[in-house]
Structure 1
Amino acid sequence: MLSLKDATQQIQSLMDTVMRYQRRRTLFTRLGRVMKTDTGMNFRRQQSPDDEPWEPLKFRQGRILSDTGRLRNSIHFEANDDQVVIGTNVKYARVHQFGAVIKPVKKKVLAFPDGRGGTAFARQVTIPARPFIGIEERQINLIHDAMTQWLRDITRGRRNA
């Protein structure tokens, strides 16, 4: 495994080479798949992209950020010849990625299930950041490997590289 600095430098060098090719969508599609798969692994492992475990749940049992699976299943990517963008259209994703303090808007207190069949009340609730998508050392290495393989495939004349 490469160090973060070495991998980043090598990716920049690879990108300089990649940009010489006109049909890059297949590369960016590969990178999108790599990142989507890695993000899915973060949900399964209940950890951030830098391998830090997510803060445990306080009011219910079960898997973190996976109550219904909606957020996990919403991760998608779009690729073209110039870039890949990965993300989600779920409105509450930002709160879980970065954390937030939730305060009531129309009432004096928030009401929510307490996990024991009752209702809990609070003037505010702090949702801890539980990043599920991002680029850290592990992802840099995955990207580096995918780019290297794509360039090998291109130079060997594989059509669907």
Structure 2
Amino acid sequence: MADSLIIANTDSLNLLFKQLNNRLTETKPLMTEIAGIMYYGVSENFRTEGSRLPGGGWKQMQHNSRKGQILQDSGVLLSSISWTATATESVVGTNYKTAALHNFGGVIKAKKIVGSVKRKKDVFAMEQFFWMKWYESGKKDNYYKALAFHVHKTGQITVPARPFMMLNNDDYLKIEDAVVRFLKV
């Protein structure tokens, strides 16, 4: 029985394998769809302020005198997020200089500068910056005032991690579904 040979018409099977091979070499449409899913997921993180991610929402601002959503004061960070896709990868990212600080959190230590001769003491450049922003706001934006006092007291600003470059389980399921649909011949 081991010497038996079964010959069958495999034309249809060969055609399926050929189609599958073509699908696997022309993956740019799949990668583009995956990049779109990832981009949408990251955008949703801003809209929901991280509440769709494991661990719940983003930490609220300590000096909660600001109106609007967290990380969306100017919209620059959200608008800096972009996506690209090739035949082998899907990428969503940002080149905004403070994006990593907001995503992972961190501490910014203030640098001392020479203060006025009259007061005879050094001040923090960051503190002066926040006082300037408070003054420019017409002394109405108490957020900058609170930050100036905080820097004066501690000499630093601690930025809590507010992960926005993450996907949740639903996003991964959408990607899995896209791959399955793509592989169906």
Scaled to the shorter chain, the TM-score interval is: 0.7 to 0.9
How many pairs does the alignment contain? 137
Tell me the amino acid that sits aligned with residue 125 of structure 1. I
Q: Deviations over 1:36-84 (max 9, x none)?
A: 0111111000016336200012232220000011111111111111111
Pick aligned residue for 1:85 from 91, 109, 123 = 91
Is residue 41 of structure 2 the alignment partner of residue 38 of structure 1? yes
Tell me the amino acid that sits aligned with residue 49 of structure 2. Q
| Pair 1:79–1:118, CA change in 2 (3 A) | closer
| Pair 1:18–1:68, CA change in 2 (3 A) | farther
Match in the other structure for 1:9: none
Match in the other structure for 1:116: 142
Point out where structure 2 has 5 or more consecutive residues left out of the alignment.
Answer: 1-19, 114-122, 135-140
Q: Deviations over 1:83-114 (max 9, x none)?
A: 11110010100000000101113535332257
Matches within 5 A, 1:1-150: 21-47=24-50, 49-50=53-54, 52-59=56-63, 60-107=66-113, 108-109=123-124, 110-111=126-127, 112=130, 115-116=141-142, 119=145, 120-121=148-149, 122=151, 123-150=155-182
Q: Answer whether contact 2:81 2:93 (CA < 8 A) is retained.
A: yes
SS of residue matched to 1:77: strand
Higher helix share: 2
Q: Answer whether contact 2:28 2:86 (CA < 8 A) is retained.
A: yes
Tell me the amino acid that sits aligned with residue 48 of structure 2. R
Tell me the amino acid that sits aligned with residue 103 of structure 1. K
**Aligned sequence identity (%):** 34
TM-score normalised to structure 2 length: 0.65
Point out where structure 1 has 5 or more consecutive residues left out of the alignment.
Answer: 1-16, 156-161
Alpha-carbon shift at residue 139 of structure 1 (Å): 2.4
Aligned mates of 1:80, 1:146 — CA distance in 2: 16
Question: What RMSD, in angstroms, separates the aligned Cα atoms of the two structures?
Answer: 2.4
For the pair shown, which has the larger CA radius of gyration, 1 or 2?
2
Aligned mates of 1:38, 1:135 — CA distance in 2: 6
Deviates more, 1:119-128 or 1:32-41: 119-128
Aligned mates of 1:19, 1:56 — CA distance in 2: 50
Q: Deviations over 1:96-155 (max 9, x none)?
A: 000010111353533225742762231111000000012442322121122122223xx2
SS of residue matched to 1:21: helix
